[in-house]
């Protein structure tokens, strides 16, 4: 009898559970993070924080609120994109364009 293939969503969920188990569980990781989102510090409301993970390696990185998790996902986990966005927010579009172009010239 042939086994049914495991759906990608199921593999994804199993990997996240395994990552949480390696941390000692959700509550233990939440306590290590000071009781809130690893980025903004927001405490979980009625919903638990999301388990953030690297989509290439599957390694768990931390617990994030919905907003921070979506921000990282929308930026496609690109650190340079997030850094340029920070420059844009702080100093405006002109500085962001210069910074972005410098990163491209460096090959980052």
What are the pLDDT digits (tens) for 37-91? 999 999 998 889 999 988 888 788 999 999 999 999 999 999 999 999 999 999 9
Q: Which residue has the higher pLDDT, 17 or 48?
A: 48
DSSP code, position 57: T
Q: What predicted TM-score, i.e. pTM, was given to this entire model? A: 0.74
Give the residue carrying structure tokens 């599957």. 58
> What would the mean pLDDT of 23-49 be, rounded to a whole number?
92
d(CA 31, CA 20): 13
Is the CATH number 3.40.50.720 carried by domain 1-75? no
Query: What 3-state DSSP class applies to 50?
Result: strand
pLDDT at 1 over 70: no
């Amino acid at each position: 009898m042939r086994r049914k293939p495991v759906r990608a969503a199921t593999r994804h969920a199993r990997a996240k559970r395994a990552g949480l188990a390696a941390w000692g569980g959700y509550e233990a990781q939440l306590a290590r993070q000071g009781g809130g989102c690893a980025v903004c510090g927001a405490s979980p409301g009625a919903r638990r924080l999301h388990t953030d993970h690297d989509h290439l390696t599957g390694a768990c990185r931390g617990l994030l609120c919905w907003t921070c998790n979506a921000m990282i996902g929308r930026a496609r986990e690109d650190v340079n994109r997030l850094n340029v966005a920070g420059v844009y927010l702080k100093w405006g579009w002109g500085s962001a364009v210069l910074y972005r172009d410098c990163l491209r010239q460096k090959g980052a």
